[in-house]
Amino acid sequence: MREGVGLRKDSEKFLKIVLEKREENGSDIVTCTLDMFSEIPNIEFNVGNIMDDLKLHNCISSNSTVFISGEVQVILTIDGIEYFKEKEIQMKENQRITNNTNNFYGEVTGVQIQQGTVNSSQSQSVNQGFDYAEVAEIIQKIKKYDSFFDDEYGENALEMRNKIDEIEDLVQKEENPSRIKALLNDIKNLSIGVAGSLIASGIVTLLSRV
C-alpha cells in the first residue's frame, strides 16, 4: 500500500470479508454471492466501483469478475493479501514520526537565541551579547534527530551534518557569531526545502526565532 493512498471504506470492508473467506477456504481465489457482503450498504449497486477500486490499488487481479448471476469471483494479489498488515505498519510509522516531532517541539519550548546588544549582561557572551550557550542547546536538540537526516534530507543530509559540526566548533571556541548565524540560516533553508517532513518543519520553526 502506497503511503497516503488507500482504499475506499467500502472497498476495505469488501477486501476484509474476502480475506476472511480466504482463510476459511485456503484459496487465493474466492467465489461467492453478493449476500456475503450484505453489511456493505447498497452492495448490489456499488460492487462494480468497489472491484474497480481494488483493481486500481492492485489488491485483486484484473481478471476478477462480477457475473450476471450475481456471483463474484475475486482473485487476490499479494498486495491485497498483505494490505491490512502494511496499513498497520504505515500507521505505526506515522505515529512514531508524530511522537518524535511532538518530543522535538516539547524539548525546544522556551529556547531562544537572543541576539546581541552592546551592553548585554549574559555571562556566556563575549561578542556583544551573542548567546553561545543557547545556540549549543538548540544544536543538541537538532542533533537528536540525526538518524532521520538521511531519510528526511536525502543528498543534503551530509551538508546538514557538516554545518552542524562547524557551528559546534565555533560555539566551543566562542567566536565568529556572524558565521554561526549564517550557518543557522543555511540549515533553516535546507529544512524549508524538505516537503512534507514534520521534523524539518520543526527545525524551521525553531530557527525562525534566530
- Structural domains in the chain, CATH included, are 9-81 (1.10.10), 109-207 (no CATH)
Question: Global pTM?
Answer: 0.45
pLDDT tens digits, 122-162: 434 445 578 888 888 889 888 888 888 898 898 999 999 99
Confidence (pLDDT) at 95: 76
Confidence (pLDDT) at 72: 94
Question: Closest by alpha carbon to 194, among 140, 147, 161, 151?
Answer: 151
Q: How far, in Å, CA of 175 to CA of 203, rounded?
A: 23
Q: How far, in Å, CA of 156 to CA of 196, rounded?
A: 16
Residue entry with cell 529556547: 111
Q: C-alpha distances in angstroms, 5 versus 57, 74, 94, 165, 168?
A: 9, 22, 14, 38, 41
Q: What is the mean pLDDT of each run of 10 residues along the chain (210 residues)?
A: 67 95 93 93 92 92 90 93 87 72 58 46 51 87 87 90 93 90 91 81 77
Confidence (pLDDT) at 138: 87
Confidence (pLDDT) at 107: 57
